Amino acid sequence: MKIRFVLMAFLVAGAMSLGLVANASNGGSKDASKDTPAAASAAGADQSTDNQTAAQKENMHLEGERRFRSNCARCHAAPPKFAPRMMATILRHMRVRAAITDQDMHLILRYMTE
Protein backbone atom coordinates (compact mmCIF):
# COMPACT_ATOMS: atom_id res chain seq x y z
CA MET A 1 0.00 0.00 0.00
CA LYS A 2 2.83 2.34 0.96
CA ILE A 3 4.68 1.53 -2.25
CA ARG A 4 1.56 2.36 -4.28
CA PHE A 5 1.23 5.71 -2.52
CA VAL A 6 4.86 6.56 -3.19
CA LEU A 7 4.47 5.49 -6.80
CA MET A 8 1.39 7.69 -7.24
CA ALA A 9 3.12 10.67 -5.64
CA PHE A 10 6.11 10.14 -7.92
CA LEU A 11 3.88 9.97 -11.01
CA VAL A 12 2.00 13.14 -10.02
CA ALA A 13 5.27 14.99 -9.41
CA GLY A 14 6.56 13.69 -12.75
CA ALA A 15 3.48 14.88 -14.62
CA MET A 16 3.71 18.36 -13.07
CA SER A 17 7.43 18.61 -13.85
CA LEU A 18 6.84 17.58 -17.45
CA GLY A 19 4.20 20.25 -17.83
CA LEU A 20 6.46 22.93 -16.37
CA VAL A 21 9.44 21.85 -18.49
CA ALA A 22 7.31 21.77 -21.66
CA ASN A 23 6.28 25.37 -21.09
CA ALA A 24 9.62 26.58 -19.88
CA SER A 25 11.09 25.43 -23.20
CA ASN A 26 8.39 27.35 -25.10
CA GLY A 27 8.61 30.51 -23.06
CA GLY A 28 12.38 30.57 -22.74
CA SER A 29 13.15 31.31 -26.35
CA LYS A 30 10.51 34.01 -26.42
CA ASP A 31 11.95 35.72 -23.37
CA ALA A 32 15.48 35.54 -24.80
CA SER A 33 14.46 37.07 -28.12
CA LYS A 34 12.65 39.82 -26.23
CA ASP A 35 15.53 40.62 -23.94
CA THR A 36 18.30 40.71 -26.53
CA PRO A 37 17.09 43.71 -28.58
CA ALA A 38 16.19 45.54 -25.39
CA ALA A 39 19.69 45.06 -24.00
CA ALA A 40 21.31 46.03 -27.30
CA SER A 41 19.27 49.19 -27.65
CA ALA A 42 20.02 50.15 -24.07
CA ALA A 43 23.73 49.77 -24.70
CA GLY A 44 23.92 51.75 -27.91
CA ALA A 45 21.12 54.21 -27.42
CA ASP A 46 21.48 57.86 -28.33
CA GLN A 47 19.03 60.73 -28.07
CA SER A 48 17.48 60.29 -31.55
CA THR A 49 16.90 56.59 -30.95
CA ASP A 50 15.20 57.40 -27.67
CA ASN A 51 12.93 59.86 -29.42
CA GLN A 52 12.10 57.34 -32.11
CA THR A 53 11.31 54.71 -29.51
CA ALA A 54 9.09 57.13 -27.62
CA ALA A 55 7.26 58.02 -30.83
CA GLN A 56 6.82 54.33 -31.68
CA LYS A 57 5.45 53.65 -28.22
CA GLU A 58 3.03 56.54 -28.55
CA ASN A 59 1.90 55.23 -31.95
CA MET A 60 1.42 51.74 -30.55
CA HIS A 61 -0.58 53.17 -27.66
CA LEU A 62 -2.85 55.15 -29.98
CA GLU A 63 -3.27 52.19 -32.32
CA GLY A 64 -4.05 49.90 -29.38
CA GLU A 65 -6.65 52.34 -28.10
CA ARG A 66 -8.20 52.60 -31.55
CA ARG A 67 -8.39 48.81 -31.90
CA PHE A 68 -9.84 48.53 -28.41
CA ARG A 69 -12.57 51.03 -29.21
CA SER A 70 -13.44 49.51 -32.57
CA ASN A 71 -13.42 45.89 -31.39
CA CYS A 72 -14.41 45.78 -27.72
CA ALA A 73 -16.54 48.86 -27.17
CA ARG A 74 -18.99 47.82 -29.89
CA CYS A 75 -20.50 45.21 -27.57
CA HIS A 76 -19.80 46.19 -23.98
CA ALA A 77 -18.75 49.03 -21.70
CA ALA A 78 -15.03 49.57 -21.33
CA PRO A 79 -13.74 47.42 -18.48
CA PRO A 80 -11.05 48.64 -16.08
CA LYS A 81 -7.48 47.57 -16.80
CA PHE A 82 -6.92 44.28 -15.06
CA ALA A 83 -3.59 42.75 -14.07
CA PRO A 84 -1.50 41.79 -17.16
CA ARG A 85 -1.76 38.05 -16.57
CA MET A 86 -5.54 38.29 -16.33
CA MET A 87 -5.72 40.45 -19.45
CA ALA A 88 -3.77 37.80 -21.36
CA THR A 89 -6.47 35.23 -20.53
CA ILE A 90 -9.33 37.62 -21.26
CA LEU A 91 -7.89 38.56 -24.65
CA ARG A 92 -7.41 34.91 -25.57
CA HIS A 93 -11.07 34.30 -24.67
CA MET A 94 -12.23 37.31 -26.70
CA ARG A 95 -10.08 36.32 -29.65
CA VAL A 96 -12.19 33.16 -29.93
CA ARG A 97 -15.57 34.59 -28.95
CA ALA A 98 -15.48 37.84 -30.92
CA ALA A 99 -13.20 36.68 -33.78
CA ILE A 100 -10.63 39.37 -33.02
CA THR A 101 -7.64 39.13 -35.36
CA ASP A 102 -4.24 38.11 -34.01
CA GLN A 103 -2.80 41.57 -34.66
CA ASP A 104 -5.70 43.32 -32.93
CA MET A 105 -5.39 40.99 -29.95
CA HIS A 106 -1.71 41.81 -29.44
CA LEU A 107 -2.23 45.57 -29.83
CA ILE A 108 -5.18 45.58 -27.44
CA LEU A 109 -3.26 43.47 -24.93
CA ARG A 110 -0.34 45.88 -25.08
CA TYR A 111 -2.69 48.87 -24.68
CA MET A 112 -4.57 47.31 -21.78
CA THR A 113 -1.40 46.38 -19.90
CA GLU A 114 0.50 49.66 -20.24
Partner 1 sequence: MMCRFVWWPRIVAKAGLLGLFFVLSLALQAQDDGFKAVPILTGSTAYFTRVTAGQYQDAPSVSPLLLLPLGDKWLIEAKGSYSDTFSKNAQGDYNGTISYGMAYGQIDYIANRYMTLVAGRFTTPFNIYGERLAPNWIRALQPNPLTSPVTSGSALGGMVRGGVPATDSVNLTYALYFSSNNTHHLLATDRSTGGRIGFFLPHQRLEIGASFQQVLQADRPHSSGIFFEWQSDRAPVTVRSEYARSSGTKGSGYWIESVYRLNQISALRRLELVGRGQQFFAASNLSAATIKKLGALGKDTNEGDFGMNYYLRSDIRASASYGRQFVLGRNANLWTIGMTYRFLMPMLPQGGAR
Binding site for partner 1 (CB under 8 A): 8, 11-12, 15-20, 22-24, 26-27, 30-31, 34, 66-67, 69-71, 73-80, 82-93, 95-104, 106, 109-110, 113
- What is the DSSP track for 14-57? HHHHHHHHHHHHHHHHHHHHHHHHHHHHHHT--HHHHHHHHHHH
> How far apart are CB 10 and partner 1 at their closest, in Å?
11
**Nearer to partner 1 by C-beta: 38 or 42?**
38
CA 87 to each of CA 6, 74, 109, 110: distance values in angstroms, whole numbers, following the listed order: 39, 18, 7, 9
> How far apart are CB 55 and partner 1 at their closest, in Å?
21
**Nearer to partner 1 by C-beta: 57 or 92?**
92
> How far apart are CB 47 and partner 1 at their closest, in Å?
27
How far is it, in rounded angstroms, from Cα 98 to Cα 102?
Answer: 12
**Nearer to partner 1 by C-beta: 53 or 84?**
84
**Nearer to partner 1 by C-beta: 42 or 46?**
42
How far is it, in rounded angstroms, from Cα 95 to Cα 103?
Answer: 10
